[in-house]
Structures are given as structure tokens and as C-alpha cells.
Amino acid sequence: MLTAYIPGYYYMDYWYLILVVPALIITVWAQIKVSTTFKKYSKYAVGSGLTGVQASELIQQRHGLQVPCSQIAGSMTDHYDPRSNSIRLSETVYGVSSVAAVGVAAHETGHALQYAEGYWPIKLRMRLVPITNFASAASPWLLMLGLVLSFLPLAYLGVAFFGFAVIFQLVTLPVEFNASARALSALVEGQMLTQDELKAAKKVLSAAAMTYVAALLVSLMQFLRLLLIVMGRGRRND
């Protein structure tokens, strides 16, 4: 909470309880949902024996791509790295023949397709990364100094800087939803899964998508909380 780093400024943070806590509860629910869904469909073997890495390679072949695909440690650590234009699949996906593994691998390959085709939201998200990192690091200090010194323009600047985190999460949504849509489309076109297997893969990707919606909600509620705190301080100073 904001009170943790503002010396001598103590109060009951009702806005945190009203806005942020419910959003955090939804985030925990979304994380549990994606974890349990992934585990459930990790036990659902693909009839053809197709593995995660093989699914990625087949999708790439159909689209004329040759993006390196390597295995990394952990579970649900899968990601596409635009800096090196490579796909990293976890131990529970790379060489595993399950509906969950194939769905996740196809999703990450969907990001590679986005990058290859110049999909503008993923390009925008890449450009936002350094800006968001800087703004997120500077925001707490600007807020703290602005409130402690009662210099509200500085505090409002801190709120504005935090807004970049909201923008980043907002841009992330179409990137992730589009990657999942591309994944399912590629799986259908390549006839890699049966109809029942496709339905299961869609459930895995839908559960994963909810975590990004929850992340946006938390950022938005945190932004609103900080804005209300600064506005409240302004009214007390009048």
C-alpha cells in the first residue's frame, strides 16, 4: 500500500480495500483457474501423438517460418521472445503429447506469426516495455515526494507515470487474444486435433486469457486508487 513508503503519512487506505483487493481476488481466481485447467488437460493425450514442439514446427511450416523453438525449465513458463525471435516452451509442453501442451505451443507460435506479419499491437507492446519499466520505477518516488512535500503536481505526475502500466496491460489484451485465435485457426487448418481435442485446447487458452484480463483490472484499480488518494490530499489542502 502507498502508506508503506510515505513517512509520517498514516491513514486507513479504504480505496485499497474497496478497489484493489477485489481485483486481486479475481487475479488469484484466474491464476487458480488456468493452473487447474492446464493440469486437467495435460492428462488429455492427443490421439495422433503430436507434441508441443511438433505442433509449433507444423504451424511454422504452413506459414513459411523458421523460428527457433527451445525447451526451458519449469511449468507454464512458455513464452515468445521478440528480441531473439524465438519460442521457449516449458518442460510440460515442449516434448509432451497433450491437448494442453499443443494448445500452449500453438499460442506461442501465434506470437511468432504476429511478429512475422508486422501485427501492430505486438510491435507497440515491444516499444512500451522500456517506457513502462522506467515509468513504473519512477512512479512510487514521484508519488511519495509529491505527497510528503504537498507538491501535488509531482504526485499527479507519479499517477500519470503509473498509467503506462495500465496502457501496457491494455495493449497486451489484443496481442494475447489474437495469438490464441491464430493458434486455434492453425490447429483447425492443419487438422492437428480432433473436434473434442480442439474444444479442450480452447478451454486452456481461454483460461490463460483471463489472467491478462485480471492483470489489466488490477492495474486499472490501482491507478484509480492512486488518483483518488492524490485528489483527496488536494481537497484537504484547500
Q: How far is CA 136 from CA 44, 129, 133, 140, in A?
A: 41, 10, 5, 7
Task: List the catalytic residue out of 57, 91, 108, 197.
Answer: 108
Antiparallel, parallel or unpaired: β 79-81 and 86-90:
antiparallel
What nine digits make up the cell of 53? 514442439
Q: How far is CA 110 from CA 60, 98, 116, 145, 225, in A?
A: 9, 18, 10, 43, 35
Buried b (16+ CB within 10 A) or exposed e, 180-209: bebbbebbeeeebbeeebbebbbbbbebbb
- Residue 108 annotated in active site: yes
Residues serving a catalytic function are 108
